Structure 1
Amino acid sequence: MSTKGKHPRADQGTDPFEEKLQRLKEAFNTGKTKTAKFRAEQLQSLGRFLQDNSKQLHDALDGDLGKSGFESDMSEIILCENEVDLALKNLQTWMKDEPVSTNLLTKLSTAFIRKEPFGLVLIIAPWNYPVNLMIIPLVGAIAAGNCVVLKPSEISKNTEKVLAELLPQYLDQSCFAVMLGGPEETGQLLEHKFDYIFFTGSPRVGKIVMTAAAKHLTPITLELGGKNPCYVDDNCDPQTVANRVAWFRYFNAGQTCVAPDYILCSQEMQEQLVPALQNAITRFYGDNPQTSPNLGRIINQKHFKRLQGLLGCGRVAIGGQSDEGERYIAPTVLVDVQETEPVMQEEIFGPILPLVTVRSLDEAIEFMNQREKPLALYAYSNNAEVIKQVLARTSSGGFCGNDGFMYMTLSSLPFGGVASPEHSDAQRSPYSLPFRFPRAVPRRQ
């Protein structure tokens, strides 16, 4: 195969990964990753990588997604640093054997649970949070004593380059490797047997990863997307709701798996929300959001075209402008949206917010329950009973009342989805797995 393009590969007919994977497996079999000293040293080195290369990471995230320094710090780098600190603080405790009770037949014996690493772990990261969703699973994998293959997304090419060139300088290269490539190379990588696979991305690719894992009966965590509903009750302050919804919908240009994907509200509330959303958008991004340093860009032309097509749904009440050359789509609000339109059939993953009108709380709950269980669900009301009803009568990976996804900054809360299309490992100690999250199904108000 020609080396012209993104990633060179070995000559046709050879396996470009075989030798490296074998070396990683041999390193794990020596037991070097199992000591607390080794794990702590690698975590400390990972922390230095984040500190030493902050500028390079900021520049890469700006080049890929147009992220401001604030967004990059808040949603990527600081969260990773916090995760490293958390792991270092708790490493000794996590590694301890867990005593369990005995019975009459084993009264003179000792019983305990020992948390062991899986072995060789594959982490496949997405392009929307390419640092966060690579490093945070890596922290868990290191803390649990695994060897790791890291596969950054080739779509966020600037970040991929930084991770590939700089991260190996900080980690033990006999135990950790960054491997590059597009779909073809990832397919080749998945033909190999790993002891655990952690994938973050789309349900479509998730099915491919799960199929490949099934051939080897490899345990797997899929962190996929979701079409997250947001119910807005008549009993609330429209401007407060608009400020919070706009902030979380348009953060990272809407390319966030836990962002509110659509609003359910009454016709009366819609008439109040639209001008309030316009006020919020102007406040956050100015009169011309295209010139705002705080609004990101769509990752590539393919996703830009897809989102541009969704602008034809319903009626544009706010925004709707786009610029293909800049991969810019304005913060947009759609009204008069029908549930059968394309914008309601797929996760939007962009700065477009449809408003769908319902006549009652019961109708809103029925609307949500007729669809796949979402990764996140939001409800706004000054009436606590309304929030409690939505919480009690729906099912979702995460639930938040009267706020957005700030709960994602809490390492004390688990993260994951509910069954299809989102999978998470529940009922397991976080460090009997190679990762801290997703590890359970949280529901919260």
Structure 2
Amino acid sequence: MNIELKKIENIQNSSKLSVSERINYLNELKKEIIQNEDNIFSALHKDLNKPKFEVYTSEIGFLINEIKLFIKHLNEWSKPKKVKSSIINFPSNDFIYSEPYGKVLIISPWNYPFQLAILPVLSAFSCGNTVVLKPSEHTPETSKLVNKIISKIFPSNLVCVVEGDYKVASKLLKSKWDYIFFTGSVRVGKIVAAEAAKQLTPHTLELGGKSPCIIDKKINLKTVCKRIVWGKFMNAGQTCVAPDYLLAHKSIKSDLVKELSSRIELTYGKSLSANTNTTKIVNEENFNRLINLINSNKILFGGEYNSNKSKIYPTLIDEPNISGEIMQNEIFGPILPIFSFENISEIDKIILSNPDPLALYVFSNDKDFSENIIRRYRFGGGVVNDTIIHLTNPNLPFGGIGNSGYGSYHGKSSFDLFTHKKSIVKRKMWLENNLRYAPYKNKLNLVKKILKYLS
């Protein structure tokens, strides 16, 4: 057996740790992350050339806030919740117990390789589960650092990291787990779901999709473009909730393109050589895929790339064919197609040509228009008049629907995700209602009256 895979033999079925003991581990994890800030910067620079600002805001700071939230609320969340009892069971006290599933497998992606690895690990562990993490092989420096931090903080029989490629992940999926949490592509998500189904293992899929961004007429385009450029091109567009394409009202499309171009130049310079502090494309396969998309479509702006550095300048594409490759799968790179529309049916034609997206964004000063868009389409979550910020609020569950995944986490939703809700009724012994017991003679009419009264 692979040396890495042998690690899972020592994993316990559950941690058996008290809440206070789990909180102590979370405090140690928080300290270790803070102490390793420079190492995290370095690892992500080597793997993806990520700017320090983006590393801190989207990886380190995000994690620290989630850890603090668990430390503050875990004791409260873990207590049995008393709920209103049914009069049918009088006298009784009714509760919901949150209990860990047991052994959890987490497979994390490469695009935010530190945060998206450790966040589900700390969430699952906090709930009393034991955890095996398989980080992405495409960001090796970050995976090594994640392994080092987790190995230092957690006993190997409670949490361990198994490094390796897709073959290792495939073998892990063949093992028996009590829960599986996967973040990645739709294609691999289907494989994970199929393997989980063989053993009826509950699981969560955090996937992606073609997330639209709709821009209505009569709106401040300067602010719109600032927010779109930030949300789309951060991390070189390698963000699961990044706007995948724009739908702009025909009357403002030309001005929108000019403003977007101006904002891109202000943010990233007028060429790749003008700004060295930009994220690179993760590997050659993805780089070549993206270049093919650029070369197969009409470029409105940008189009520059550097094969030696695996970098692509933010690129705007004009009205691609909706049956073309660029509109068939999530782009996951710094390429932004722009369509125009005049009415809602034209929006429908494009959005409904793909499965339910992970996110949707709409910019409009017309509340009725925005509300219609929000209610008209199925998507995981979204924002009115901004992009991607919904995932920063721990009070909002984050997750997809249908083809973009299922299951939601962040904040309290993470605790709910990694715990089974056990319903418990505690009856009293001092009163007995014989109505439910046989023989049933002359009881039916009374039961009907009681149930009618209670409804």
Q: Do Structure 1 and Structure 2 share a fold, with TM-score over 0.5?
A: yes
CA contact (8 A) 1:313 1:337 kept: no
The runs of 5 or more residues in structure 2 that have no matched partner are: 421-455
2:350 to 364, 367, 370: 367
1:214 to 172, 182, 197: 197
> Residue 418 of structure 2 aligns to a residue in which SS?
coil
CA contact (8 A) 1:45 1:171 kept: no
1:354 to 332, 337, 341: 337
CA contact (8 A) 1:68 1:293 kept: no
> Residue 382 of structure 2 aligns to a residue in which SS?
strand
The runs of 5 or more residues in structure 1 that have no matched partner are: 2-8, 11-15, 437-445
Name the structure, 1 or 2, with higher relative contact order (CA <8 Å, separation 6+): 2
Is 1:303 matched up with 2:286?
yes
What corresponds to 2:85 in structure 1?
102
What corresponds to 1:21 in structure 2?
8
Q: Distance in 1 between matches of 2:179 and 2:22?
A: 18
Is 1:196 matched up with 2:183?
no
Q: Distance in 2 between matches of 1:358 and 1:247?
A: 23
CA contact (8 A) 2:10 2:156 kept: no
RMSD of aligned alpha carbons: 1.9
The change in CA–CA distance for 1:53 and 1:148 in structure 2 (over 3 A counts) is: same
2:16 to 32, 35, 42: 32
Aligned residue identity for 1:265: A
1:320 to 303, 306, 314: 303
CA contact (8 A) 2:272 2:312 kept: no
State the Cα deviation string for residues 53-83 of structure 1 (Å, max 9, x = none). Answer: 1111111111111110000001111000000
Q: Which moved more, 1:347-356 or 1:165-174?
A: 165-174
More strand by share: 2
Aligned residue identity for 1:282: E
CA contact (8 A) 1:127 1:156 kept: yes
Larger radius of gyration: 2
What corresponds to 1:340 in structure 2?
323
Q: Distance in 2 between matches of 1:292 and 1:195?
A: 47
Aligned residue identity for 2:34: Q
CA contact (8 A) 1:336 1:355 kept: yes
Q: Distance in 2 between matches of 1:400 and 1:148?
A: 33
The Cα shift of 1:225 comes to 1.0
What corresponds to 1:409 in structure 2?
392
What corresponds to 1:257 in structure 2?
240
Q: Distance in 1 between matches of 2:417 and 2:351?
A: 32
The Cα shift of 1:361 comes to 3.1
The Cα shift of 1:366 comes to 4.1
The Cα shift of 1:105 comes to 4.0
What corresponds to 1:51 in structure 2?
34
What corresponds to 1:431 in structure 2?
415
Aligned residue identity for 2:208: G
The Cα shift of 1:189 comes to 1.0
CA contact (8 A) 1:144 1:433 kept: no
What pairs with 1:60-139 in structure 2 (closer than 5 Å)?
A: 60-139=43-122
Q: Distance in 2 between matches of 1:303 and 1:376?
A: 22
What corresponds to 2:378 in structure 1?
395
The Cα shift of 1:100 comes to 1.8
> Residue 354 of structure 1 aligns to a residue in which SS?
strand
Q: Distance in 1 between matches of 2:356 and 2:72?
A: 35
TM-score of the aligned structures, taking structure 1 as reference length: 0.90
CA contact (8 A) 1:338 1:356 kept: no
CA contact (8 A) 2:150 2:160 kept: no
CA contact (8 A) 1:118 1:433 kept: no
What pairs with 1:122-161 in structure 2 (closer than 5 Å)?
A: 122-161=105-144
Q: Show structure 1 runs of 4+ deviating over 6 A.
A: none
State the Cα deviation string for residues 77-124 of structure 1 (Å, max 9, x = none). Answer: 100000000000001111110112223343232221110000110111
> Residue 92 of structure 2 aligns to a residue in which SS?
coil
The Cα shift of 1:294 comes to 4.1
